[in-house]
Amino acid sequence: MVKKTWGDLMNEADAITNNAYFSVNSEGELTFTEEGIAEYRSYFGKAGIDIRNIKSLNDFRRARRAASHLFDNHLVAKIKKGKQTLERRLLIAIAEGNEEESKRLERLLDARNNGIHAF
């Protein structure tokens, strides 16, 4: 199995021009869906980019590159919104780079999955 890089995944995502977040018409004009506006407005806004100025797939690619340094924080904010399960807490610890908490939660998760009750 070939492991794909983040860049590979993003390039594949670029090939999809009609999705839940936006569509691109035959003239190359990009239109965000309501879900796309909800997803990208604050993410791009934190990078000083007004989503209303993104009119094409190239504009979107440029905005995504300009905001890429904020992507990890964007993901952490999204996953923090859900129910705080053990798995979700582990994912947050990993995303935030908290190695000590990650190891602790992994041990708890392993114990739970092996039928061991940690008290």
Write out the chain's pLDDT in tens, 119 residues.
666 666 665 555 555 567 889 998 888 899 999 999 998 999 999 999 999 999 998 999 999 999 998 887 888 888 888 888 999 999 889 888 899 999 999 999 998 888 776 55
**Which secondary structure element, helix H or strand E, spans residue 32, and what is its range?**
strand 30-32
| The CA-based dihedral angle spanning residues 45, 53, 38, 64, taken in that order and rounded to the nearest 10 degrees | -60
Alpha-carbon separation of residue 46 from 14, 73, 78 (angstroms): 22, 11, 15
- The first and second tokens of residue 70, run together, are 């904020």
Specify whether the CB–CB gap between 36 and 21 falls below 8 A: yes
Does pTM surpass 0.75?
Answer: no
Count of Cβ atoms closer than 10 Å to residue 23 Cβ = 14
Candidates 21, 42, 41; CA nearest to 30 is 21
